[in-house]
């Protein structure tokens, strides 16, 4: 078997898929931010009632990187930037998934992303920061 890379293409995640992806949706939104085209997430209104309003906070995080976002009550439209982003800083709202997402966005950027509360990154994955450093070289 041979594995090859390819360009990310926009996709849609609908209400029927959300329950099995609820914790992975911030990572999906990061991938959508690098895909060609506009990805759509719907049926994820419950993300507005997590540690933070994750939909609004992810929209804010991606906008800080220059990604075009349209918010909906139950989701987001993300117009990808396949060329990537320079870097920046994000507010995690004390939410470990947002802080981890910001760190991943930093690893995928040219200049890095400053996460305001790196201490919360270990809530769901102790050792996350060290693992990300090891993976990104």
Which residues does the annotation mark as catalytic? 23
Q: How many CB atoms lie within 10 A of CB 23?
A: 11
Q: How many CB atoms lie within 10 A of CB 22?
A: 14
Residues counted in the chain: 137
* Greatest Cα-to-Cα distance within the chain, rounded to the nearest angstrom: 43
């Amino acid at each position: 078997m041979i594995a090859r890379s390819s360009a990310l293409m926009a996709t849609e995640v609908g209400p029927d898929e959300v329950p099995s992806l609820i914790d992975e949706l911030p990572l999906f939104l990061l991938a959508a931010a690098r895909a060609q085209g506009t990805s759509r997430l719907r049926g994820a209104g419950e993300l507005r009632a997590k540690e933070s309003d994750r939909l609004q906070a992810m929209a804010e995080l991606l906008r800080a990187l220059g990604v075009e976002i349209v918010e909906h009550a139950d989701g987001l439209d993300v117009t990808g930037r396949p060329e990537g982003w320079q870097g920046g800083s994000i507010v995690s709202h004390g939410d470990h998934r947002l802080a981890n997402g910001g760190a991943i966005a930093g690893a995928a950027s040219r200049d890095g992303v400053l996460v305001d509360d790196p201490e919360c990154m270990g809530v769901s994955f102790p050792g996350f920061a060290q693992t990300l450093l090891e993976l990104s070289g």
